[in-house]
Amino acid sequence: MNKTDSAKYLGEAQELAAKVARRVDEIDEERQIPTDLFRDMADAGFFKLLVPESLGGAEIQPLVFFEIIRIFAQADASTAWCVNQNNIFATDAARMPTETAHKLWADRYCVVTNGPPFEGTKAIQSEGGYRLSGHWDFSSGSSYSTWLAARSPVEGDAGPPRMFLIPKADATMLDTWHVNGLRGTASFSFELDDVFVDERHTYFESQVPHNDGLLFVIPKIPLFALGFATISVALARACLDDAIKLAARKAQRDVSDAMVNRSTVHRQIGEAEASLRAADTYLRGSASDLWNSVCENGQLDMTQRIDVRMASTYAIRQASQVVDVAYEMFGSDAVFKRNLLQRRYQDMHVIVQQIQGRATNFETAGRYFLGLDVGRIV
């Protein structure tokens, strides 16, 4: 993708994000991206950003993609989360059977949503395919998705789990997403009961990509981590900016103890700015190093994967602390739903609970630096 195409997508992201910003209350209350807004985004190609060009996608460079995520996150974290989640999973279009990929992404509104399996999922080999049963959670974008991706072991097969693709109409969708934050992601659960899945609709996620684009060398997990961290930093940036504006407004009231005159507020803002800028710089640098390595070497080594894990976890956790500072500065105003900070605070505290935000990721990094086994992390 050339610079002109990148600029086009960045400009359109700004326009679409402005539409999202005008409807954040609706997204939150309805717990999903409205159908007409989703279609506007899909028509502009924002759910095919990482789909191979050979399938009609943009195959956009990761660094441009993360800037797009940042733009959406400044408007609404739920929308950014869905754009991140659905697009990164779509890189599997380069790993699944080519015929299947063409079948799915011939539909301009194709979105494949996925989620982790609940214990007890199973696939049984059957003539021409498999019979699949089980329960899967946290499938973001369920309200507008067209296909579901379900990972499951195959009974009697000691190999790695397979990924199964199922039309959403073949599943029982469960509206379990009653949460405090990221409400608009429609991260529902789904169940399958002895559903037949054609062999051509299954694949291994470790499959060597059949597309030669460098993007598809990168495993999904590092991309997910960088995307979630980018959302977190953008959320924190918006919260801190709002807090600074609040302090300035209250300074105009000619009150002796106005926020702008308090040394504690000065320190909070300075420390939060330093923390957020450091986290953002580390995150951007890690993403850039990852892409440069892929471009130069055609692969990622473990050192780079560990660095992405550290940078992403650090950014998420630092962003959470900055949001907490902003929330505290807002005082009693922060508790009202009319205040966008309230929603961003809730969104941030859902993100930090996600696996990429857990402090145990630093333990993995520590084991690596000590020369110990880190297990399967990426």
CA-nearest of 242, 229, 217 to 309 is 229
Pair of tokens at residue 66: 């993360």
Q: For residues 231 and 358, state if they share a domain.
A: yes
Q: Give the mean model confidence (pLDDT) for residues 259-281.
A: 90
4-39 burial code (b ≥16 CB/10 A, e <16)? eebeebeebbeebbeebeebbeebbeebbbbeebbe
Q: Where are the beta strands (DSSP E) in the chain?
A: 112-114, 122-126, 129-139, 147-152, 162-167, 172-174, 188-198, 202-203
**Dist CA 355 CA 295 (whole Å):** 28
> What total number of domains does the chain contain?
3
Q: Give the mean model confidence (pLDDT) for residues 28-37.
A: 97
The answer to the question of residue 375 being in a domain is no
Residue 55 is part of a domain; what is its CATH number? 1.10.540.10
The answer to the question of residue 315 being in a domain is yes
The answer to the question of residue 74 being in a domain is yes
pLDDT in tens, 274-317: 999 999 999 999 999 999 999 999 999 999 999 999 999 999 99
Reported confidence tier of residue 246, pLDDT bands at 50, 70, 90: confident
Q: Which of the two residues, 335 and 174, has the higher pLDDT score?
A: 174
Reported confidence tier of residue 330, pLDDT bands at 50, 70, 90: confident
Rounded to 10 deg, the angle between the 263-297 and 302-330 helix axes is: 160
Reported confidence tier of residue 250, pLDDT bands at 50, 70, 90: low
CA-nearest of 138, 27, 5 to 72 is 27
* Among candidate residues 89, 105, 121, the one where a domain is terminated: 105
Pair of tokens at residue 143: 């309200």
Q: What is the DSSP letter of 352?
A: T
User: Cα 87–101–164 angle (5° rounding)?
Assistant: 85
Q: Give the mean model confidence (pLDDT) for residues 48-66.
A: 97
Q: For residues 236 and 199, state if they share a domain.
A: no
Q: For residues 365 and 245, state if they share a domain.
A: yes
The answer to the question of residue 213 being in a domain is no
**Dist CA 60 CA 41 (whole Å):** 16
Chain center to CA of 249: 34
The answer to the question of residue 331 being in a domain is yes
Burial of 220 per CB tally in 10 Å (0-12, 13-18, 19+): middle
The answer to the question of residue 76 being in a domain is yes
Domain that holds residue 72: 3-105
Q: First and final CA of the chain: distance in angstroms?
A: 27
The pLDDT of residue 331 is above 80: no
Q: For residues 123 and 75, state if they share a domain.
A: no
| Coil/strand/helix, residue 171 | coil
Residue 267 is part of a domain; what is its CATH number? 1.20.140.10
Q: For residues 362 and 272, state if they share a domain.
A: yes
Residue 160 is part of a domain; what is its CATH number? 2.40.110.10
The answer to the question of residue 209 being in a domain is no
The answer to the question of residue 376 being in a domain is no
